[in-house]
Structure 1
């Protein structure tokens, strides 16, 4: 198995011949195919990619890491590996896009990656290829390699996401959605009205009735964050935090805005640094806010696991 590292982005394979193909089809029938593939590439965690649409995937890799699965219908190991890769990609909830390439139908992509045997799995970070592995491997090793890929992507500033549900085929008949519990419905109505205080109260009442109500717990964390960032000016908040690096509330406000804006690692790093710097009697408050933000993002997110490890090292 290939060791993924930031150094792997240097050298490697020349994909320049595949750039811009979606934008410059060679014939009218190709234009329709390119438009079709472009719409697939623009949304969803798992997408099918062709020679004509690969340029769009290269551009997408500048914001979201892309894993390319080179396979063929006749390939037995491909049929073992592909479902595993799709499962792992979907579990990452939009932090990685999986681009599936049928090498028989798309020989130019196969040639560009110098695919001598399949299944072959390669990543794209910022338009640059990174080898991952060749041949069928077990799920545990796939998850390990995907984890390293995310680390390298973050080192190179590629930390975007795509909607986890986009691009997926909807079932022919969707089950009718169950009505929301009354207190959840009340919270939703309050959020839509911008009355976050009422939404917080509704979720708190729901948790009082059922402490195991995970939806209410998640909703409460989200609406509390919305309430805290409402009306804040980012520039003013950052300036205040820079002027008072040990002001706990000032740092909390920046972390909240970072999290609300999708800058999760920045929020966690700010509060972990604050935890190290403040007086011992203030650390419990900082730790409580960190745990609240961890719960908001979810324990399955690798960024949470990493931040929890850093917090544990600071505690002991």
Structure 2
């Protein structure tokens, strides 16, 4: 699934809700689990009382709203469970608000009006940052594999943009096991992430390089280093000028790899891969080697388990042989 980068849009007008929303932090729902109910420490059932505070949490880190309806589309409740479960693996990079439109139709009406829709489609997935939709809403059923790909890409975009905030686990959320508690954010990555948050790209590259040098098998550090180097290469680059240069000379390795880097940062992962794979087909010797090595670095930045990387590797093998 190709995902668009974070973009600023209009804030949601909450005035249509009948009851004012208190300002306390959102809390998880207790009781027995049921389809569409919170299933992690970073998921909350949304109602009129906590809707505003859930959205306000997006000033810390992105908030994902999942709209489901047990009566209209029973399968949508399973999708809500999948989103909550997947997001729970990101240690607070996202918070999920689960909206049962049967129980709180007013919230669905507010979102439909803000989106200029006659009726809200169900299921629907939205991502908010700083109180505003951050990506185009995603209507309809999305498979678990596609959801995993989506959040992997969003997590990479957060890192690329230096957005490193995390939500705190919700009070009243399902208890975590001791093993889960030990799997919190690894402090080894904090210096690099702090450097990114401060806009110090060179510092982030240096910190990730230290981690890779000390443990070449550290896949997360390798991915972080690869993405930080993309940011480093593209600092101060004019997108229009870069595209013009690439269009003027399709076989210029420097020009083509620069646009591929910019495409990757813009969320156009498949386009970035396709550009360099075609360049591999057209070039030879040192130019081909440089292009291939650059493409492999972009594979590492996206993550070797990403389906687009697996597809890209197959295409690269075909281009080489």
TM-score by length of 2: 0.53
Matches within 5 A, 1:190-205: 194=200, 196=202, 200=205, 203-204=208-209
Residue in structure 2 matched with residue 70 of structure 1 by the alignment: 69
Structure with greater contact order relative to length (CA < 8 Å, sep ≥ 6): 2
- Distance in 1 (CA, whole Å) between partners of 2:239 and 2:137 is 32
Determine whether 1:169 maps to 2:169: yes
Per-residue deviation at 1:215?
A: 4.9
Residues 187-225 of structure 1 show CA distances to partners (whole Å, capped at 9, x for unaligned) of 9769968582x7656654553443234454234323322
- Structure 1 residues 263, 177: closer, same or farther in 2, change over 3 A? closer
- Would the aligned equivalents of 2:299 and 2:309 in 1 still touch at CA under 8 Å? yes
- Structure 1 residues 128, 244: closer, same or farther in 2, change over 3 A? closer
- Would the aligned equivalents of 2:92 and 2:167 in 1 still touch at CA under 8 Å? no
In structure 1, which of residues 235, 239, 261 is the aligned counterpart of residue 240 of structure 2? Answer: 235
Residue in structure 2 matched with residue 25 of structure 1 by the alignment: 16
- Would the aligned equivalents of 1:255 and 1:270 in 2 still touch at CA under 8 Å? yes
In structure 2, which of residues 298, 303, 309 is the aligned counterpart of residue 304 of structure 1? Answer: 309
Per-residue deviation at 1:284?
A: 2.8
- Structure 1 residues 50, 313: closer, same or farther in 2, change over 3 A? farther
- Structure 1 stretches lacking a partner, 5+ long: 1-19, 38-43, 58-63, 112-120, 134-141, 151-159
Matches within 5 A, 1:1-316: 22-25=13-16, 27=18, 30-32=19-21, 46=43, 48-50=45-47, 67-71=66-70, 83-88=81-86, 100-102=98-100, 105-106=103-104, 122-123=123-124, 129-130=139-140, 132=141, 142-144=143-145, 146=147, 169-170=169-170, 180=188, 185=191, 194=200, 196=202, 200=205, 203-204=208-209, 206-279=211-284, 282-316=287-321
- Structure 2 stretches lacking a partner, 5+ long: 1-10, 27-40, 56-62, 110-121, 127-135, 151-156, 173-180
Larger Rg: 1
